[in-house]
Amino acid sequence: MKHVNEINIKPDASCYSEEVLRKSSNIIFEVKVMDEHEIDDEPLLLQGVQIKPKEEIGIFKEPIAFTAESYLVKHEVTHSGEKPYQCSQCDKTFSQQCKLVQHQRKHTGEKPYQCSQCDMAFSQNNRLTIHMRTHTGEKPYQCSKCDVAFSQNNSLTIHMRTHTGEKPYQCSQCEKAFSQRYQLVTHQRTHTGEKPYQCSKCDVAFSQNSSLTMHMRKHTYQCSQCEKDFSQIYQLVKHQITHTGEKPYPCSQCNKAFSRRDRLVTHQRIHTGEKPYHCSQCDRSYSNHKSLTLHMRTHTGDKPYQCSHCDMAFSQHYSLTLHMRRHTGEKPYQCSQCEKAFSERYLLAKHQITHTGEKPYPCSQCNKAFSHRDNLVKHQIAHTGEKPYQCSQCDRSYSRHTCLTIHMRTHTGEKPYQCSQCDKAFSCKGTLIRHHVIHTGEKPYHCSQCDKAFSQNIYLLNHQRTHTGEKPY
Torsion (CA) 299, 305, 310, 311 in degrees, nearest 10 = 30
Average pLDDT over residues 26-47: 38
Q: Would you state the pLDDT for residue 472?
A: 79
Parallel, antiparallel or unpaired: strands 277-278 and 285-286:
antiparallel
Average pLDDT over residues 8-36: 40
pLDDT at 383 > cutoff 70: yes
Top-confidence range, 172-181, 210-219, 220-229 = 172-181
CA distances from residue 103 to 12, 247, 288 in whole angstroms, order as listed: 12, 36, 34
135 vs 115: CA distance, rounded Å: 10
Q: Write the single-letter amino acid at 434.
A: R
Q: Write the single-letter amino acid at 176.
A: K
Q: Would you state the pLDDT for residue 126?
A: 87
Name the residue among 232, 142, 141, 178 with its Cα closest to residue 38: 178
CA atoms within 13 A on the CB side of 470: 8
Q: What is the CA radius of gyration of the chain?
A: 36
Name the residue among 52, 67, 65 with its Cα closest to residue 7: 52
DSSP assignment, residue 56?
G
Q: Would you state the pLDDT for residue 33?
A: 36
Coil vs helix vs strand at 242: helix
Q: Would you state the pLDDT for residue 62?
A: 56
Coil vs helix vs strand at 25: coil
Q: Would you state the pLDDT for residue 412?
A: 92
Q: Would you state the pLDDT for residue 246?
A: 85
Name the residue among 136, 2, 14 with its Cα closest to residue 56: 2
Give the ranges where 286-388 is alpha helix by DSSP (H).
289-300, 317-328, 345-356, 373-384
Question: How many residues are listed for the chain in this entry?
Answer: 473
455 vs 102: CA distance, rounded Å: 89
Q: Write the single-letter amino acid at 64.
A: I
Q: CB-based contacts of 426: which residues, under 8 Å, 6+ apart?
A: 415, 417, 419, 432, 435
DSSP 178-241: ESSHHHHHHHHHHHH----EE-SSSS-EESSHHHHHHHHTTS-EE-SSSS-EESSHHHHHHHHH
pLDDT at 10 > cutoff 60: no
- Name the CATH code of domain 1-109 (choices 3.10.129.10, 3.40.50.720, 3.40.50.2000, 3.30.160.60): 3.30.160.60
* Residue 15 pLDDT grade (very low, low, confident, very high; cuts 50, 70, 90): very low
Residue % of the chain over a pLDDT of 70: 87
- The overall average pLDDT reported for the chain is 81
Q: Would you state the pLDDT for residue 9?
A: 39
The C-alpha angle with vertex 296 and arms to 293 and 301, in degrees rounded to 5, equals: 120
Q: Would you state the pLDDT for residue 392?
A: 92
Q: Would you state the pLDDT for residue 444?
A: 85
* Residue 20 pLDDT grade (very low, low, confident, very high; cuts 50, 70, 90): very low
Q: Would you state the pLDDT for residue 55?
A: 41
pLDDT at 257 > cutoff 80: yes
CA distances from residue 41 to 29, 51, 244 in whole angstroms, order as listed: 11, 11, 48
Average pLDDT over residues 62-79: 78
Q: Write the single-letter amino acid at 453.
A: A
123 vs 120: CA distance, rounded Å: 11
Name the residue among 233, 10, 214 with its Cα closest to residue 123: 10
pLDDT at 97 > cutoff 80: yes
* Residue 59 pLDDT grade (very low, low, confident, very high; cuts 50, 70, 90): very low
Contact in structure between 212 and 227 (CB atoms under 8 Å): no
* Residue 162 pLDDT grade (very low, low, confident, very high; cuts 50, 70, 90): confident
Encode pLDDT of 282-341 as tens digits: 989 998 888 898 998 888 888 888 888 888 889 898 899 999 998 898 999 999 989 889
Q: Where are the domains of the chain?
A: 1-109
Contact in structure between 234 and 241 (CB atoms under 8 Å): no
Q: Would you state the pLDDT for residue 238?
A: 81
pTM for the model stands at 0.36
148 vs 50: CA distance, rounded Å: 20
pLDDT at 29 > cutoff 80: no
Q: Would you state the pLDDT for residue 83?
A: 87
237 vs 321: CA distance, rounded Å: 28
262 vs 164: CA distance, rounded Å: 41
pLDDT at 69 > cutoff 60: yes
158 vs 140: CA distance, rounded Å: 15
DSSP assignment, residue 390?
E
Encode pLDDT of 347-379 as tens digits: 898 888 888 888 888 999 898 998 888 888 888
pLDDT at 391 > cutoff 90: yes
